[in-house]
């Protein structure tokens, strides 16, 4: 072996060592991007608690501080390197940002997204780029009902559950309701929400009648004076709204000042996010959902996981966790469970395919409820849902809820293989309530 | 009848809001030929400052009646400070440049100011409900109305009349009119056009900030607050005619009433009605309803 050959061999050996060390590093860390609204009107009510929930759970996972049985460190032992990304700016920007995260920044997993618009736009791109992506909050049922997805998962129920449960709650608590109307934002989320609520009311309370003057203001419109007038003049005795973000809080302020909530019953399917933020300014008597068993509606649920979540969050951020905090924490937890399960089966650090196989059809105890990845060929979660009525707790000077009722997942979500619209129209066959 | 009264009041309230937020934009364009996209930021800064000051006032236990003073203070402070900074720091360098450059520069300023809002006020929305709660509500046409929103009509009338008197009955108004008609001749006649420009820009900025400051108690003041309003303001001034105050009044009334009719009678078209009206006007009057068509000097 001459000198040149020796040098070449040494060079190749060095390169191989560097490559090997790189591979070892890749197994020591998992790069995770967490998109949420960090600016814009949705940041305060949704993006910030979502980010906080994810951050708190990721820190606990990295330090092995989650309650048992999730107290092992990291994703399959690998430390989570997290990058929080701003979801605002529209769908086109999100698609470009997603490509950037995967193709340039080499993210291993993306966990997050709040807006239904973001998820609807991203779902096909995720499968194109073949990177595990766990949708945390977005609600449109179309993500898994319009196409089969391979790399996309969603770890909470979709909007159908919110609206079918809302109709059940109205039937159970206010059987005298004769007619209803709606004020929903004019895009996929608002339209899907109204469709499911309206269809559910037709099935569950067939004697009721929907108004023909439905309000669909633009998202982030901010001013609802004319809409509130139209709702006040409408003869309906119940109003359905899936408003969220700053729109929800602005609407509540404006409608309170005009006495709308004294005149009509109003069901807010995402109202839970406003409860802690508005405090005493949140009117009593509103029918409140939180897109599932999260936030104020499960504050009294005494499980180790839930108590850990509430106490840790309150100590760290100075407020109770609202729905988005739970929902992002839940998405991170699901990913951890999938990594750990896949690692156990593989006998080492798992590949992405192994993690996805572990996540598919997974059933696990989350912080506040049981999650089953039961729909969308094992990619779409179902959970129970819950509604209550706002009731200021004067003793503790805290917002509270009364008449809380839970509805099992099998009662409010379509069975595997059925689309939401067809299932509701067909009389919700197979529902176990 | 109830519906007609409700539509009229809803339309007037929304028109007043539109007039307040767009009149500053149209004044600046009319005098300076500057299309100020950063106007939305002045609105947002006015709203944030107003909400912040109202919160401070209320927390100090000084009585909710005084929160109205905070609205005026917010509008003047924001308008004067930001107006001066923008005019002296940016706009004065744009006078000799193409209008497209000005639009791009003010758009960039708008984006910067939006981010500065995040730095200063954070991402959590501000609530300043005290003035609205202070004035309570009243029943008109069979439904409850918050009195605060009704006062928006009075504020818009006061602003409109003051501007009309200022422009037609004062020496300053005549100077301004002279500059609007012919900038070069005004300079030749000894008018200090630079000073006229500064005062006009600051006045427009105060009006923009006033719009935000007055609306703040009715909404959740959140990041991105100024984006929507700039689009609506442009629609109003385009309908009325760029640079025309009567045009801003008519534009605001047209859009406000049309939107109220849509919400009550045909909610499906509410989203498009503002732009539908704008497109219709532009088909028949490309220069807007009140701006006279004129040849451009080269």
- The per-residue pLDDT for range B61-82, each reduced to its tens digit, is 888 888 999 999 999 999 999 9
In percent, the amount of chain A with pLDDT more than 70 equals 94
Number of Cβ within 10 Å of residue A359's Cβ equals 23
The whole-number pLDDT of residue B294 equals 61
CA dist B141 and B12 (Å) reads: 14
Q: Are B160 and B19 in contact (CB under 8 A)?
A: yes
The residue with tokens 């609807």 is A120
CB–CB contact A246 B222 (8 Å): yes
The whole-number pLDDT of residue B78 equals 97
Query: How confident is the model over B242-252, as a mean pLDDT?
Result: 88
Note if the bond before B276 is cis, omega within 30 degrees. no
The whole-number pLDDT of residue A23 equals 41
Helices B39-59 and B99-121 sit at what angle, rounded to 10 degrees? 20
Best residue of A230, A234, A318 to probe chain B, by most B CBs closer than 10 Å: A230
Helix (H, G, I), strand (E, B) or coil at B173: helix
What residue ranges in chain B does DSSP mark as E strands? 126-127, 137-140, 143-146, 220-221
Confidence tier at B244 by pLDDT (50, 70, 90):
confident
Is B220 touching A (CB cutoff 8 A)? yes
The whole-number pLDDT of residue A206 equals 96
Architecture in CATH for domain B2-284: Orthogonal Bundle (1.10)
A134: which strand partners?
A: A111, A153
Most confident of A36-50, A331-345, B101-115, B274-288: A331-345
CA distance B291 to chain A (A): 29
Q: Are B202 and B87 in contact (CB under 8 A)?
A: yes
Tens of pLDDT along B133-165? 889 889 998 889 999 999 999 999 999 999 999
Tens of pLDDT along B101-112? 999 999 999 999
Q: Which CATH superfamily is domain A160-298+384-425 in?
A: Response regulator (3.40.50.2300)
Q: Are A203 and A233 in contact (CB under 8 A)?
A: no
Q: Are A424 and A192 in contact (CB under 8 A)?
A: no
Count of CB pairs separated by less than 8 Å, A with B: 125
In terms of pLDDT, which residue wins out, A138 or A8?
A: A138
CA dist A178 and A102 (Å) reads: 51
Query: How confident is the model over A27-38, as a mean pLDDT?
Result: 93
- Closest residue on chain A to B272 (Cα): A218
Residues 107-126 of B with CB under 8 A from A: 118, 123-125
CA dist B143 and A263 (Å) reads: 10
Separation in Å, CA A398 to CA A245, A269, A392, A395: 21, 21, 6, 8
The whole-number pLDDT of residue B242 equals 81
CB–CB contact A48 B123 (8 Å): yes
Helix (H, G, I), strand (E, B) or coil at A111: strand
Q: Of A331-340, A424-433, B40-49, B57-66, give the lowest mean pLDDT range.
A: B57-66
CB–CB contact A259 B260 (8 Å): no
> What is the distance between the terminal CA atoms of chain B, rounded to a whole angstrom?
55
Query: How confident is the model over A205-232, as a mean pLDDT?
Result: 92
CB–CB contact B222 A38 (8 Å): no
Helix (H, G, I), strand (E, B) or coil at A225: helix
The residue with tokens 């009319």 is B30
Residues 134-173 of B with CB under 8 A from A: 137, 142-146, 148-149
Number of Cβ within 10 Å of residue A334's Cβ equals 24
The whole-number pLDDT of residue B298 equals 53
**Across all residues in chain B, what is the average pLDDT?**
89
Give this prediction's pTM.
0.85
CB–CB contact A229 B143 (8 Å): yes
Burial A66-79 (b: 16+ CB within 10 A, else e): bbeebebbbbbebe
Asked if A26-157+302-382 and A160-298+384-425 have one fold, the answer is yes
The whole-number pLDDT of residue B240 equals 87
CB–CB contact A258 B123 (8 Å): no
Tens of pLDDT along A187-197? 888 998 999 99
- Token reading at A147: 């196409």
Cβ-nearest to B219 among A45, A215, A222? A222
Q: What residue ranges do the domains of chain A occupy? A: 26-157+302-382, 160-298+384-425
In terms of pLDDT, which residue wins out, A159 or B1?
A: A159
CB–CB contact A233 B143 (8 Å): yes
The whole-number pLDDT of residue A47 equals 94
- Closest residue on chain B to A44 (Cα): B124
CA distance B267 to chain A (A): 6
Tens of pLDDT along A395-410? 888 999 999 999 999 9
Cβ-nearest to A221 among B125, B215, B228? B228
DSSP string, B204-247: HHHHHHHHHHHHGGGSEE-TTHHHHHHHHHHHHHHHH-TT-HHH
Q: List the one residue out of A51, A78, A49 whose CA is nearest residue A62.
A: A78
The HSE-up count of residue A160 (CA atoms within 13 Å, CB side) is 28
In terms of pLDDT, which residue wins out, A331 or B234?
A: A331
Confidence tier at A378 by pLDDT (50, 70, 90):
very high
Most confident of A269-283, A312-326, B209-223: A312-326
Confidence tier at A8 by pLDDT (50, 70, 90):
low
Residue A385 has pLDDT above 70, yes or no: yes
Residue A2 has pLDDT above 60, yes or no: no
Q: Of A142-156, A419-433, B99-113, B231-245, give the lowest mean pLDDT range.
A: B231-245
CB–CB contact A226 B14 (8 Å): yes
Q: What is the ipTM, given to two decimal places?
A: 0.84
Binding-site residues on chain A for chain B (CB distance < 8 A): 38-41, 43-45, 47-48, 88, 186, 213-218, 220-223, 225-227, 229-230, 232-233, 245-247, 249-250, 253-254, 257-260, 263, 277-278, 281
CA dist B47 and B280 (Å) reads: 32
- Token reading at A137: 């909050």
Cβ-nearest to B220 among A230, A246, A258? A246
Burial B211-238 (b: 16+ CB within 10 A, else e): bbbbbbbbbbbbbbbbbbbbebbbbbbb
CA distance A263 to chain B (A): 10
Query: How confident is the model over B249-278, as a mean pLDDT?
Result: 90
The whole-number pLDDT of residue A6 equals 52
Q: What residue ranges do the domains of chain B occupy? A: 2-284
DSSP string, A309-373: HHHHHHHHHSS---HHHHHHHHHHHHHHHHHHHHHHHHTSSPPHHHHHHHHTT-EEE-SSSEEEE
Q: List the one residue out of A109, A112, A110 whose CA is nearest residue A38.
A: A112
Query: How confident is the model over A89-104, as a mean pLDDT?
Result: 94
Under the phi-then-psi rule, with left for phi > 0, alpha for psi from -120 to 50, and beta for the rest, what region is B265?
Answer: alpha
**Across all residues in chain A, what is the average pLDDT?**
92
- Closest residue on chain B to A191 (Cα): B268
Q: In what order do the strands lie in the sheet with A152-154?
A: A79-86, A29-36, A109-112, A133-135, A152-154, A380-382, A370-375, A363-365
The whole-number pLDDT of residue B263 equals 93
In percent, the amount of chain B with pLDDT more than 90 equals 53
DSSP string, A251-276: HHHHHHHTTHHHHSEEEETTTHHHHH
Which helix (H) or strand (E) segment holds residue A152: the answer is: strand A152-154
Distance of CA B294 to the CA centre of its chain: 26
The whole-number pLDDT of residue B297 equals 54
Q: Are A350 and A262 in contact (CB under 8 A)?
A: no
CATH dotted code for A26-157+302-382: 3.40.50.2300
CA dist A359 and B124 (Å) reads: 34
The whole-number pLDDT of residue A25 equals 42
The whole-number pLDDT of residue A32 equals 98
Query: How confident is the model over B24-39, as a mean pLDDT?
Result: 88
Is B267 touching A (CB cutoff 8 A)? yes
The whole-number pLDDT of residue A18 equals 43
CA dist B215 and B13 (Å) reads: 11
Residue A335 has pLDDT above 90, yes or no: yes
């Amino acid at each position: 072996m001459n000198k040149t050959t020796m040098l070449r061999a040494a060079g190749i050996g060095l390169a191989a060592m560097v490559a090997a060390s790189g591979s070892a590093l890749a197994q020591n860390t998992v790069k995770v991007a967490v998109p949420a609204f960090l600016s814009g009107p949705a940041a305060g009510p949704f993006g910030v608690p979502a980010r906080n929930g994810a951050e708190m759970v990721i820190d606990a996972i990295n330090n092995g501080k989650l309650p048992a049985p999730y107290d092992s460190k990291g994703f399959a032992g690998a430390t989570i390197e997290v990058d929080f990304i701003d979801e605002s700016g529209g769908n086109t920007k999100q698609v470009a940002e997603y490509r950037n995260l995967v193709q340039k920044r080499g993210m291993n997993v993306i966990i997050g997204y709040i807006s239904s618009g973001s998820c609807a736009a991203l779902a096909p791109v995720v499968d194109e780029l073949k990177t595990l992506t766990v949708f945390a909050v977005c609600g449109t049922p179309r993500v898994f009902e319009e196409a089969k997805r391979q790399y996309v998962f969603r770890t909470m129920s979709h909007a159908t559950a919110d609206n079918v449960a809302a109709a059940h709650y109205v039937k159970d608590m206010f059987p005298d309701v004769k007619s209803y109307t709606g004020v929903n934002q004019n895009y996929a989320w608002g339209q899907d929400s109204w469709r499911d609520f309206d269809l559910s009311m037709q099935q569950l309370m067939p004697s009721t009648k929907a108004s023909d003057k439905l309000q669909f203001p633009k998202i982030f419109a901010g001013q609802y004076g004319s809409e509130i007038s139209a709702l006040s003049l409408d003869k309906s005795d119940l109003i359905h709204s899936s408003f969220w973000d700053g729109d929800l809080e602005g609407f509540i302020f404006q409608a309170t000042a005009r006495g709308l909530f004294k005149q009509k019953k109003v069901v807010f399917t995402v109202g839970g996010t406003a409860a802690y933020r508005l405090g005493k300014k949140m009117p009593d008597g509103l029918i409140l959902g939180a897109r599932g068993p999260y936030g104020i509606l499960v504050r009294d649920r005494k499980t180790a996981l839930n108590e850990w979540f509430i106490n840790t969050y309150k100590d760290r951020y100075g407020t109770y966790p609202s729905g988005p905090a739970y929902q992002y924490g839940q998405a991170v937890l699901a990913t951890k469970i999938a990594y750990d399960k896949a690692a156990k089966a593989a006998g080492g650090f798992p590949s992405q395919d192994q993690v996805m196989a572990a996540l598919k059809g997974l059933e696990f105890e989350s912080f506040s409820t049981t999650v089953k990845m039961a729909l969308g060929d094992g990619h779409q979660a179902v959970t129970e849902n819950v509604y209550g009525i706002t009731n200021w707790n004067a003793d503790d000077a805290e917002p509270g809820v009364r008449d809380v009722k839970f509805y099992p997942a099998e009662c409010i979500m379509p069975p595997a293989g059925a689309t939401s619209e067809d299932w509701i129209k067909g009389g919700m066959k197979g529902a176990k309530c | 009848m109830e519906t007609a009264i409700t539509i009229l009041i809803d339309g007037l309230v929304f028109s007043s809001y539109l007039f307040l937020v767009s009149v500053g934009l149209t004044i600046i364009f009319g005098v300076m030929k500057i299309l100020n996209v950063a106007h939305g930021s002045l609105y947002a800064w006015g709203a944030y400052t107003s909400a912040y000051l109202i919160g401070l006032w209320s927390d100090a236990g000084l009585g909710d009646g005084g929160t109205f003073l905070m609205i005026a203070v917010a509008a003047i402070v924001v308008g004067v400070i930001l107006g001066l900074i923008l005019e002296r720091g940016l706009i004065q360098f744009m006078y000799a440049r193409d209008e497209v450059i000005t639009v791009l520069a003010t758009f960039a300023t708008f984006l910067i100011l939006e981010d500065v809002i995040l730095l200063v006020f954070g991402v959590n929305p501000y609530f300043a409900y005290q003035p609205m709660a202070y004035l309570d509500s009243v029943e008109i046409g069979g439904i409850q109305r918050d009195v605060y929103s009704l006062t928006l009509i009075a504020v818009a009338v006061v602003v409109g009349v003051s501007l009309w008197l200022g422009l037609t009955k004062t020496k300053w108004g005549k100077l301004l009119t002279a500059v609007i008609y012919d900038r070069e001749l005004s300079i030749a006649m000894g008018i200090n056009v630079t000073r006229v420009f500064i005062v006009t820009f600051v006045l427009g900025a105060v009006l923009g900030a006033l719009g935000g400051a007055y609306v703040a108690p009715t909404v959740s003041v959140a990041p991105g607050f100024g984006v929507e309003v700039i689009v609506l303001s442009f629609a109003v001034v385009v309908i009325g005619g760029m640079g025309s105050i009567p045009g801003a009044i008519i534009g605001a009334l047209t859009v406000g009433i049309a939107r109220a009719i849509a919400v009550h009678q045909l909610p499906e078209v509410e989203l498009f009605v503002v732009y539908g009206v704008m497109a219709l006007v532009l088909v028949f009057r490309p220069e807007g309803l009140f701006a006279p068509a004129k040849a451009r000097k080269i």
